[in-house]
Amino acid sequence: MFSALKRIFVGRPLATTEQEHQRISKTIALAVFSSDAISSTAYATEEILFVVALGASSLALGLNVLMPIAIAVALLLAIVVTSYRQTIFAYPSGGGSYVVSRENLGETPSLVAGASLLVDYILTVAVSISAGVAAIISIPALRGLANHRVELGLALILLISLANLRGIKESGRIFAAPTYIYIVMLTGLIAYGLYQSFTGNIGTVPFDKEAFDGTLASGGTLGLFLILKGFSSGAVALTGVEAISNGVPAFKRPESKNAAATLTWMAFILGGLFFGVSLLAHRIQPYPSHDQTVFSQMGLLVFGSGPLYLILQFATAAILTLAANTAYADFPRLSSIIAADGYLPKQLANRGDRLVFSNGVLVLAVTASALIVGFGGKTNALIPLYAVGVFTSFTLSQAGMVVHHRKEKEQGWKRNMVLNGVGSFATLVVLLIVAVTKFSSGAWVPIVVIPFIIMIFRVIHKHYKSVSLSLAVTADYKTRPVNHTVVVLVGKVHRGVLEALAYARSLNPNRLIAVCIVSDDEEEAAVVESWRVFDIEIPLELVHSPYRELTGPVLAFIDELDAQRDNDTVTVVIPEFVVDSWWAHLLHNQSALVLKARLLFRKGTVVTSVPYHME
């Protein structure tokens, strides 16, 4: 039944030879890897206003600094994108900041970059989904769903997870159309809105004092700290920029050339839309409110409440939701690289039957769902956690590229080194601004979580190293002589027990014993009589368990046997009958599972089940 459901929702298995055909074109890649970055245009401007227009400041002061902040973010975007174009060509195997740091800065910086990116991708899903839900409940007809934002968020995570378990190419096809519809609709909103504003055909957004989250419409004071905090909020527009450099192997050949072209297109679209939204907001003066998003306010004023507004809102909800797909494309791939290096469980390095790293998809879904529940599905509660990991990875990636240029000394290396050095310094400054200005708002969480994840990385790596050392074979290694004792656990004598005894005899052990755990004299007599009736020649040992326990007495008996001989390997044979339906298993005792679990950790012990299938 499980297999049938899996085929319905996930699709047929794909052979390893089909991996080349799962590579994606630039058109689909733009939707897969850029949806996170492009979607930030729907909330970055609003997040700036939520800082600079509230508190001791006012809406008027906040709108006045909106454009300078937008220009600063756009310049930062240009620097970061230029750096990641170099990374794509220098490290076409993917992995982005983690691989660049590993190859050029050493183990600890690479672990910091890896942990930062993993945290960033988890937050990307949580923020994108919560922002998508906010856009949905901003539609007047759907505002009644406001009290169910967590449930809506979890349902959306489930849908995107299922789509990504089907494969990156298939999920890209599903999600490409909404991304391009959003780009077209937002371009239309900006162009038509600015035209209407500059020609005097529309005024400003009607101000509702009751819905306004702040206290002052004008006046107040706006200090440098709030301006820097607003800039750090606007800098979330850069989240997702590194995604393409992490996923270069997913592109059609030539991978690096196609990835670099897609990154350039993404930068122009992201920069143009973000700057346009900020300019339009400066002109028509929306205000921060938890009742209705800034985007919705601008859409209503420019398009009215007709079909264009509804298309814009649905497209916005779609792109915000599908922005999570960028993380689903990159988190599993990055975690597989880190797992292959021995810092995460090896299961994350394995591809599923649809050629995706399905374990990574599931881990991402579970952790992002926990954040949605923990923070009530509210975007502005999650945003302060967001930028620390992003700019940490930016800083380390560009610092690593500086070292790379110095080592390789390729053509133009001095120019590129200076560019990466400036970029690393700029993103470091932004990281410090984010950490300081938003520390009390939640930025402390990733500052604490990232070192904790690095500690987990090191513990896992230490474990794998110790396992590797334990399994290593030296030139003078010789296996020890083995005394083989086989113990068959029996109860009532039935076909399954007789089959297990025959199997144990075929092993030709040094010693063969049957053991029965009995709780009273009546049970003992019944077993002894069965042994006599069936004329079983294998010696029978009876172990009394007055408290009707199975596992403890069996372990104690094996300990006694083991102590009688040196170099003794004990094989415990457990007869099990297998019923023909899954539900019938619920009607039978599963004590054998518990016993096998306990015996697994006993040194020098082999456990084997002999199944007898019921007809």
Give the pLDDT score at 276. Answer: 94
| Residue 211 pLDDT grade (very low, low, confident, very high; cuts 50, 70, 90) | confident
| Residue 605 pLDDT grade (very low, low, confident, very high; cuts 50, 70, 90) | very high
| Residue 7 pLDDT grade (very low, low, confident, very high; cuts 50, 70, 90) | low
Give the pLDDT score at 361. Answer: 92
Which of the pair, 195 or 210, is modelled with greater confidence? 195
Contact 359, 347 (CB under 8 A): yes
pLDDT above 90 as % of the chain: 34
Cα→Cα distances 317→129, 308, 322, 534, Å = 9, 14, 8, 73
Q: What is the DSSP letter of 441?
A: I
| Residue 217 pLDDT grade (very low, low, confident, very high; cuts 50, 70, 90) | confident
Least confident of 2-6, 205-209, 222-226, 301-305: 2-6
Give the pLDDT score at 5. Answer: 67
Q: Is the pLDDT of residue 369 over 80?
A: yes
Six token digits for residue 292 = 């209705």
| Residue 513 pLDDT grade (very low, low, confident, very high; cuts 50, 70, 90) | very high
| Residue 35 pLDDT grade (very low, low, confident, very high; cuts 50, 70, 90) | confident
Q: Is the pLDDT of residue 284 over 90?
A: yes
| Residue 110 pLDDT grade (very low, low, confident, very high; cuts 50, 70, 90) | very high
Q: Tell me what the mean pLDDT of segment 142-170 comes to.
A: 83
Give the pLDDT score at 564. Answer: 85
Half-sphere exposure of 466 (CA within 13 A, CB side): 6
Give the pLDDT score at 264. Answer: 94
Least confident of 37-51, 374-388, 515-529: 374-388
User: Residue 65: phi, psi to the nearest 5?
Assistant: -95, 0
Which of the pair, 379 or 395, is modelled with greater confidence? 395
Cα–Cα dist 494/489, whole Å: 13
Give the pLDDT score at 457. Answer: 96
Q: What is the DSSP string of 37-61?
A: HHHGGGTHHHHHHHHHTSTTS-HHH
Q: Is the pLDDT of residue 6 over 70?
A: no
Give the pLDDT score at 111. Answer: 95
Structural domains in the chain?
Answer: 28-464 (1.20.1740.10), 483-613 (3.40.50.620)
Least confident of 125-129, 279-283, 460-464: 125-129
Cα–Cα dist 383/233, whole Å: 8
- H/E element, 578: strand 568-578
Which of the pair, 588 or 421, is modelled with greater confidence? 421
Cα–Cα dist 66/278, whole Å: 7
Q: Tell me what the mean pLDDT of segment 359-380 comes to.
A: 86
Which of the pair, 274 or 175, is modelled with greater confidence? 274
Task: Give me the chain's average pLDDT, please.
Answer: 86
Q: Tell me what the mean pLDDT of segment 526-532 comes to.
A: 91
- Mode of pairing for the β-strands spanning 568-578 and 511-518: unpaired
Give the pLDDT score at 130. Answer: 84
Q: Is the pLDDT of residue 188 over 70?
A: yes
Least confident of 74-78, 125-129, 572-576: 125-129
Q: Is the pLDDT of residue 123 over 70?
A: yes
Q: Which residues contact 144 (CB under 8 A, 6 or more apart)?
A: none
Q: Tell me what the mean pLDDT of segment 49-62 comes to.
A: 87
| Residue 105 pLDDT grade (very low, low, confident, very high; cuts 50, 70, 90) | very high
Give the pLDDT score at 501. Answer: 94
Cα–Cα dist 349/369, whole Å: 22
- Mode of pairing for the β-strands spanning 511-518 and 540-544: parallel
Dihedral sign computed on CA atoms, order 93, 98, 102, 104 = positive
Q: Tell me what the mean pLDDT of segment 8-22 comes to.
A: 67
Six token digits for residue 90 = 């220098």
Buried b / exposed e over 590-607, threshold 16 CB at 10 Å, is: eebeebbebbeeeeebeb
Cα→Cα distances 364→105, 157, 271, Å = 27, 10, 28
Contact 23, 250 (CB under 8 A): yes
| Residue 34 pLDDT grade (very low, low, confident, very high; cuts 50, 70, 90) | confident
Cα–Cα dist 341/339, whole Å: 5
Give the pLDDT score at 585. Answer: 64
Cα→Cα distances 309→189, 204, 471, 555, Å = 9, 17, 64, 71
Q: Is the pLDDT of residue 131 over 80?
A: no
Cα→Cα distances 166→333, 367, 391, 518, 613, Å = 15, 20, 31, 52, 35
Q: Which residues contact 26 (CB under 8 A, 6 or more apart)?
A: 251, 252, 258, 261, 262, 265
The dihedral over CA atoms of 253, 257, 259, 263, expressed in degrees to the nearest 10, equals: -160
